[in-house]
């Protein structure tokens, strides 16, 4: 897969569902809280008064929506999907083995396991269990949630395993020995914190963690990168780079590719600006690429640069959204003659790319639908291009794993709204991709059809959306319709198969719609940048335009139209509630940002200033306040029913914004405001499948019940 900075991977995951080292710390030190907010007491996450309020709210919401046969049926049918042994066990190759993490009814917290390719091809493969999280929790009296294992190649016998207490982003890191299936006594071990750790060699790791006061950025990520030697105390680790407090994060990594071993420091200044340095002989050598490059990726003899903005260099101009390549040694020697591997047009954007040993696979979106190209570097410096076989209509095809050090093997995930997901494997130049695993159909897709539509937003921009609806649907405005959106951080919403959504919404006769609004990455950087900061309202105008088009086309009516979104999508929902309440019959607002006046002082909020702006700057607050639901909710308005749900252990956005919004609306005497807070699960819906099923069923039941 694409070689990415580990910190950027964490940040990318954070925005999809947006942390702090400790979830009970909600304000930035030295920051005065406003005196005119009567609900500040709810920012005390684990305080007795706050938790008593949460428990009371949960009781009311559960009684209203969870004490029914329909809820139980929905929850159980979703749980059947999540626990099904027929699901695809997606794998990651590490040497001769394929690794997988698996949760089901027998293993609620999951097992980390591995098998061989020969076994994996079988309908019922034999798995070697490496770590049983439920057994670990029983032995230690904990509630650990598995957050992954980084294994030292090429042997892959030692791993740095991350365990979260409750599902948040803060993790405990422990060294794990694969042959003995046990944690290494006296090995590398780090207490719970917002840690980044990666291998250098058998006896050294790079580590960024909470070393003490001042060692974390104001965004709560590591500020200092160190080298830690086996057998020495953490206090003896040697600093290799120290960033600034107002940087977003600092990380260090070692590339162990044989013949191309290199060390790198990455300094993320904000979500969209960073600098990369090669650490060589104790000196830092800056990679002179634009700081807003989406990716600067050294791989073997190559350097790939993915551009957010146009770049004029070496006598040529490369457009925003392009992927360009140059020999790494040539670049470091001062040459700047790049080759363009991908350039976007009005309809296309680069979604991702992945190296195999001799090839580069491009994942391209064409009006939000997938296609794959294979590029091969030639001896003369040019690149050959070949199309991979086409994907089904309205589908997403992505490379989920490769083995770039050793072979041209690739693994593809193929999925669509009505097409159960499949996992394919092939070897470029040898074997065409063959289906290795196929997910079962969890609902009868023959009753439904998928269509794509485009609508003009307020400023005339054409915005696409996908619609999954019953065949022969009457366009009489009476269909319960659920409109989902996100619209931020360059995240693209592509077609996907969801047995849970199919069972809980489509099979009941509902229509499901995905809005590809600006702020996302569906059309590359331009689509994202069109809704940044002062232009944030464009994303909300896009979503409102889709809602209005659904009504205009006769698909639904405001009374039958629901909206759902989480995290940044929760902020979207808060703005639909306060800016466009007349368009919706019910809104599910999940793990949301809502108080944009204080968001930078709550949990990881400081890390998102590049997306939203800084509310502590009066000039920026002038535009931020236009999309801050907590400040914009009014006592004399008419709002649709709304459900806020969050989790106590969320250390990204945190639970307090949802709490305060619900309390404020209730204080204004709005009766159709509902709140639910799960204790575990972090920024997701739950720490295990049962919790996830409960949370999803609660949202679907609320929406269906209120869209009468």
Nearest to 245 by CA among 225, 265, 224: 224
Facing residues of 367 across strands? Answer: none
- For 102, other C-beta atoms within 10 Å of its C-beta total 16
Task: Give backbone dihedrals phi and psi of 154, rounded to 5 degrees, phi first.
Answer: -90, -10
Buried b (16+ CB within 10 A) or exposed e, 355-371: bbeebbbbbbbeebbbb
Task: Give backbone dihedrals phi and psi of 237, rounded to 5 degrees, phi first.
Answer: -60, 145
Tokens 């306040």, located at residue: 625
For residues 560 and 583, give the distance between their C-alpha atoms in angstroms, rounded to a whole number. Answer: 10
In the 8-state DSSP scheme, what is residue 627?
G
451 among known catalytic residues: no
Calculate the dihedral angle through the C-alpha atoms of 22, 23, 29, 33, rounding to the nearest 10 degrees: 180
Tokens 């040019």, located at residue: 382
User: How far from 630 is each of 317, 488, 658, CA to CA, in Å?
Assistant: 44, 19, 9
Buried b (16+ CB within 10 A) or exposed e, 327-337: bbebbbeeeee
Q: What is the largest CA-CA distance in the chain?
A: 72
- For 667, other C-beta atoms within 10 Å of its C-beta total 12
Active-site residue identified among 560, 601, 683, 696 = 683
Phi-psi group of 160: left, alpha or beta (phi > 0 → left; psi -120 to 50 → alpha; rest → beta) = beta
Active-site residue identified among 251, 567, 607, 649 = 567
- By the 10 Å C-beta count (0-12 exposed, 13-18 middle, 19+ buried), 593 is classed as buried
What is the strand order of the sheet 419-427 is part of? Answer: 395-402, 409-416, 419-427, 431-438
For residues 309 and 516, give the distance between their C-alpha atoms in angstroms, rounded to a whole number. Answer: 21
What is the strand order of the sheet 283-286 is part of? Answer: 249-255, 262-270, 273-280, 283-286
Task: Give backbone dihedrals phi and psi of 422, rounded to 5 degrees, phi first.
Answer: -130, 155
Tokens of 51: 């938790």
Judge whether 80 and 139 are in contact, CB under 8 Å: no
Length of the chain: 708
Residue 659 CA, chain-centre distance (Å), reads 23
683 among known catalytic residues: yes
Task: Give backbone dihedrals phi and psi of 64, rounded to 5 degrees, phi first.
Answer: -75, -40
| DSSP output for 336-391 | ---EEEE---SSEEEEEEEE-SS-EEEEEEETTEEEEEEEEE-TTS-EEEEEPPPP
Q: With helix as H, strand as E and coil as C, how does 167-212 read? A: CCCCEEEEEEECCCCEECCCCCEEEEECCEEEEEECCEEEEECCCC
* Residues sharing a CB contact under 8 Å with residue 273, sequence separation 6 or more, in sequence order: 291, 292, 610
DSSP-derived 3-state class of residue 79? helix
Tokens of 369: 């639908």
* Residues sharing a CB contact under 8 Å with residue 40, sequence separation 6 or more, in sequence order: 33, 34
Tokens 């993915």, located at residue: 306
For residues 466 and 549, give the distance between their C-alpha atoms in angstroms, rounded to a whole number. Answer: 12
For residues 668 and 673, give the distance between their C-alpha atoms in angstroms, rounded to a whole number. Answer: 11
Active site residues: 567, 683
């Amino acid at each position: 897969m694409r070689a990415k900075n580990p910190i950027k991977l964490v940040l990318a995951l954070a925005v999809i569902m947006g942390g702090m080292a400790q979830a009970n710390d909600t304000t930035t030190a030295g920051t005065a809280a406003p005196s005119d907010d009567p609900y500040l007491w709810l920012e005390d996450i684990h305080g007795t008064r706050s938790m008593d309020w949460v428990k009371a709210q949960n009781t009311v919401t559960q009684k209203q929506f969870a004490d029914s046969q329909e809820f139980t049926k929905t929850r159980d049918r979703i749980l059947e999907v999540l626990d099904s042994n027929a699901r695809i066990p997606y794998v990651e190759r590490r040497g001769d083995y394929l690794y997988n993490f698996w949760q089901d009814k027998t293993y609620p917290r999951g097992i980390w396991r591995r098998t061989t390719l020969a076994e994996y091809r079988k309908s019922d493969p034999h798995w070697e269990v490496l770590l049983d999280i439920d057994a670990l929790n029983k032995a230690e009296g904990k509630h650990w949630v598995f957050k992954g294992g980084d294994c030292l190649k090429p042997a892959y016998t030692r791993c740095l395993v991350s365990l979260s207490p409750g599902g948040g982003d803060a993790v405990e890191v422990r060294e794990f020995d694969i042959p003995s299936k046990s944690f290494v006594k006296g090995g590398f071990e780090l207490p719970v914190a917002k840690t980044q750790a990666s291998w250098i060699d058998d006896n050294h790791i790079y580590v960024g963690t909470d070393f003490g006061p001042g060692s974390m950025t104001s965004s709560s990520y590591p500020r200092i990168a160190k080298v830690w030697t086996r057998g020495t105390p953490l206090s003896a680790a040697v600093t290799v780079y120290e960033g600034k407090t107002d940087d977003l994060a600092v990380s260090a990594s070692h590339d162990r590719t044989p013949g191309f071993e290199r060390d790198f420091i990455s300094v993320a200044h904000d979500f969209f600006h960073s600098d990369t340095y090669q650490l060589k002989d104790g000196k830092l050598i800056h990679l002179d690429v634009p700081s807003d490059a989406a990716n600067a990726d050294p791989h073997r003899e190559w350097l790939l640069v993915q551009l957010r903005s146009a770049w004029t260099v070496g006598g040529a101009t490369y457009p925003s959204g392009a992927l360009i390549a140059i020999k790494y040694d040539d670049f470091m020697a001062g040459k700047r003659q790049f080759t363009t591997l991908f350039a976007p047009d009005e309809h296309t954007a680069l979604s991702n790319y992945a190296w195999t040993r001799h090839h580069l696979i491009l994942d391209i979106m064409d009006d939000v639908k997938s296609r794959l190209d294979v590029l091969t570097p030639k001896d003369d410096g040019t690149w050959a291009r070949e199309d991979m076989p086409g994907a089904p209509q309205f589908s997403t095809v992505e490379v989920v794993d490769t083995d770039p050090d050793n072979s041209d093997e690739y693994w593809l995930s193929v999925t669509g709204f009505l097409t159960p997901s499949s996992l394919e494997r092939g070897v470029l130049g040898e074997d065409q991709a063959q289906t290795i695993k196929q997910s079962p159909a969890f609902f009868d897709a023959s009753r439904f059809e998928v269509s794509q539509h485009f609508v003009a937003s307020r400023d005339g921009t054409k915005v696409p959306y996908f619609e999954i609806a019953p065949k022969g649907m009457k366009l009489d405005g009476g269909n319960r319709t659920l409109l989902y959106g996100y619209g931020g951080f360059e995240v693209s919403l592509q077609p996907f198969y969801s047995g849970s959504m199919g069972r809980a919404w489509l099979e009941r006769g509902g229509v499901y719609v995905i809005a590809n609004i600006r702020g996302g990455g569906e059309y590359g950087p331009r689509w994202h940048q069109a809704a940044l900061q002062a232009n944030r309202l464009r994303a909300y105008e896009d979503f409102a335009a889709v809602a209005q088009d659904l009504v205009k086309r006769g698909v639904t009516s405001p009374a039958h139209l629901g909206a759902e979104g989480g995290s940044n999508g929760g902020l979207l929902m808060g703005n639909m509630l306060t800016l466009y309440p007349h368009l919706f019959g019910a809104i599910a607002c999940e793990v949301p940002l809502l108080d944009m006046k204080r968001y930078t002082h709550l949990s990881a909020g400081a890390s998102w200033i590049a997306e939203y702006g800084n509310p502590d700057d009066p000039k920026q607050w002038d535009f931020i306040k236009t999309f801050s639901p907590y400040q914009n909710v009014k006592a004399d308005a008419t709002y649709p029913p709304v459900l806020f749900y969050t989790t106590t252990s969320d250390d990204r956005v945190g639970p307090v914004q949802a709490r305060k919004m619900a309390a404020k609306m209730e204080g204004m005497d709005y009766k159709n405001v509902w709140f639910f807070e799960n204790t575990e699960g972090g920024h997701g819906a739950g720490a295990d499948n049962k919790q996830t099923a409960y949370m999803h069923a609660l949202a679907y039941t609320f929406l269906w019940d209120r869209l009468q």
